[in-house]
Amino acid sequence: MKLHIQNNFTTELPADPSEINIPRQVERACFSYVTPKQPSKPTFIHASEEVAYLIGLSSKDIVSEEFLNVFSGKTVYPETKPYALPYAGHQFGNWAGQLGDGRAINLTEVVHNNQSYTLQLKGAGPTPYSRTADGFAVLRSSIREHLCAEAMHYLGVPTTRSLSLMLSGDEVLRDILYNGNPAYEKGAIVCRVAPSFIRFGSFELFYSRNDRVNLKLLTDFTIKHHFPDIKSESVTKYLDFFQEVSRTTLDMIVHWQRVGFVHGVMNTDNMSIHGVTIDYGPYGWLEDYNPNWTPNTTDRENKRYRFGNQPEIALWNLYKLANALYLLINDAKPLEEILNAFSVNYQKEYLNMMRNKLGLKVTKEEDAILIESLTELLQLIETDMTIFFRNLSNIQKTDTVEVAFDVIKEAFYNEKDLNASILDNWHVWLEHYKNRIIQESLTDAERKEQMNAVNPKYVLRNYIAQLCIDDADKGDYSLLNELFELLKKPYDEQPNSQKWFAKRPDWARDKVGCSMLSCSS
Ligand code: AMP
Ligand code: MG
């Protein structure tokens, strides 16, 4: 197994002089060297071939002993020195102080095909940033991360990737619902891959300590290596950087709203500087379309991170990043302009995205109303988001509203909830929609093809992930393998997998892991 190693981060930025691996405050340093804990009996569960190719590995490498050892943390790859990053953050709206890679250890940077990547183990043991926790991860949450990160990639949503999933052979104690019922679970390790794991919170840390020197070092480093298109200097350079982070963050959120993904913990420490989805914890997928839904039980009261609030929160988080960068810019006005533009641009991009979901190519003023009335309608009775949009593409210009209604009604969880007034509302909307698609030049078949390219048929529904976890806990990984392959082609019909194009079954409605998740992972 041959990796092309690069050490830009650790050679160019200041290291923590201490290598003592106990929880502590780390000042004036961008990283701490730390060695993964050796797992007692590492076992290979799954790897993503495509991610392996991305970093220059082959199918043969994946099944090698060295792959298992390196990506479970058993051995350190030659000439590398693993490290963890400090960062800070706002959690659920409150300043949380120093956080950092508490159970993530960066193995190394690698270069392949002129692209550089950081490889990071999640769940490989404690670091100076573990605070009161153990540094490990359980199989349940590692499966969720491995499957979902890759599924998101194939959906076209910017995300960190997941190379591998290994069992550690060790047991990890977790109180899933934080209700005083801890139990042992199987420990696991995922290897994540991204350009870097620098977060909004990385900048907030230095800002909070008024450490302008390290803030500047980190920002300059980030721009130099990860934003090579920024050619400007001094203050403009930092503004361009912030502008670019705002843009990619916005793009990511539009994608989340398109596919019905709810991150669940949009704390500033869980926001990647690259505008990619990071930290798959208590995330979930909308089943019935409900903007107020969050899968995260920790957030049940305020629902700060509910589906419909994700754009607002992204902006809130960008404010925090702007605050931190202000220390280098010293001028609030241009930062405010970028922040103000976010909402306007979001609205525009959101409408475009929804137009695409509806198969509308021409831009018309009235579309905003068509879209708004649809999202209201989708909430009147439980309506499955994925099934609704997928089936909508089967409507034909010549259909009567009754026929059109038949096409979409599979999406309703309980048809008995439909009363005359709701039915009437649907007929009105479908009439409007039909008139609208008649004004387009696309044929029915062309529109269907375009809609099916943005409305996935298969997403990692919460209950499907849970079924896979239940099997894997018993040592059966066949469903994991099946789902991994299925989710590589989420827009394809895949008739043999039709059973996964189904509404959430009733047993999963209020089940832990399916609709209720916590940060305990
Ligand atoms: P999260 O909100 O899950 O992304 O985590 C917030 C902070 O807690 C981060 O600094 C994590 O590294 C840390 N953390 C979460 N779980 C653990 C764990 N099991 N051991 C150590 N640190 C953890
Ligand atoms: Mg996190």
The pLDDT assigned to 174 comes to 94
pTM of the prediction?
0.98
pLDDT of residue 177 exceeding 90? no
pLDDT of residue 320 exceeding 90? yes
Instruction: State the residue for tokens 């409305």.
Output: 455
Residue by residue, DSSP assigns 98-156 as: E---SSEEEEEEEEETTEEEEEEEESB---TT-TTS-SB-BHHHHHHHHHHHHHHHHHT
Residue 119 has, within 13 A of its CA and on its CB side, a CA count of: 32
Enumerate the β-bridge partners of residue 167. Answer: 43, 188
Looking at beta carbons, which pairs linking 406-415 to residues 24 or more positions away fall under 8 Å?
Answer: 411/383, 411/384, 411/385, 411/387, 411/503, 412/381, 412/382, 412/383, 412/384, 413/288, 413/381, 413/382, 413/383, 413/384, 413/503, 414/381, 414/382
Mean pLDDT estimate for the chain = 97
Q: How far is 68 from 66, CA to CA, in rounded Å?
A: 5
The pLDDT assigned to 510 comes to 83
Q: Which of 194, 185, 188 is nearest to 45 (CA)?
A: 188
Residue 475 has, within 13 A of its CA and on its CB side, a CA count of: 2
Q: How far is 145 from 151, CA to CA, in rounded Å?
A: 10
Q: At what angle do helices 332-358 and 444-452 cross, to 10 degrees?
A: 130
The pLDDT assigned to 178 comes to 86
The pLDDT assigned to 151 comes to 98
Q: What residue ranges do the domains of the chain occupy?
A: 5-200, 217-356, 361-441
The pLDDT assigned to 512 comes to 85
The pLDDT assigned to 39 comes to 98
- The model's pLDDT over 121-141, given as tens digits with 9 standing for 90+, comes to 999 999 999 999 999 999 999
- Tell me the two tokens of residue 175: 């109180």
Q: Which of 376, 388, 430 is nearest to 413 (CA)?
A: 388
Which helix (DSSP H) or strand (DSSP E) does residue 353 occupy? helix 332-358
- Tell me the two tokens of residue 11: 């050679």
Catalytic annotation present for 492 = no
Q: How far is 125 from 189, CA to CA, in rounded Å?
A: 9
Which ligand 1 atom is at minimum distance from the Cα of 99?
A: 10
Which residue has the least CA distance to atom 13 on ligand 1? 102
Q: How far is 242 from 358, CA to CA, in rounded Å?
A: 32
Tell me if 98 CB under 6 Å of ligand 1: no
Helix (H, G, I), strand (E, B) or coil at 296: strand
Q: How far is 48 from 259, CA to CA, in rounded Å?
A: 22
- The model's pLDDT over 219-247, given as tens digits with 9 standing for 90+, comes to 999 999 999 999 999 999 999 999 999 99
The pLDDT assigned to 516 comes to 81
- Give the C-alpha distances (Å, rounded to integers) separating 300 from 112, 280, 281, 296: 43, 18, 15, 7
- The model's pLDDT over 413-451, given as tens digits with 9 standing for 90+, comes to 999 999 999 999 999 999 999 999 999 999 999 999 999
**Separation of CA 100 and ligand 1 centre (Å):** 8
Q: Which residues surround ligand 2, an ion (CB under 5 A)?
A: 270, 279
- The model's pLDDT over 473-493, given as tens digits with 9 standing for 90+, comes to 999 999 999 999 999 999 999
- The model's pLDDT over 85-101, given as tens digits with 9 standing for 90+, comes to 999 999 999 999 999 99
Instruction: State the residue for tokens 């009996």.
Output: 41
Instruction: State the residue for tokens 């790859």.
Output: 77
Choose which residue among 85, 269, 313 to substitute to test ligand 1 binding: the one with the highest number of ligand atoms within 8 A of its C-beta.
269
Which residue has the least CA distance to atom 20 on ligand 1? 135
Q: Determine what percent of the chain is predicted with pLDDT higher than 90.
A: 96
**Separation of CA 102 and ligand 1 centre (Å):** 5
- Tell me the two tokens of residue 495: 């008739």
Catalytic residue among 269, 279, 288, 299: 269
- The model's pLDDT over 341-398, given as tens digits with 9 standing for 90+, comes to 999 999 999 999 999 999 999 999 999 999 999 999 999 999 999 999 999 999 999 9
Sign of the C-alpha dihedral computed for residues 111, 117, 122 and 125 taken in this order: positive
Residues 267/87, Cβ–Cβ less than 8 Å: no
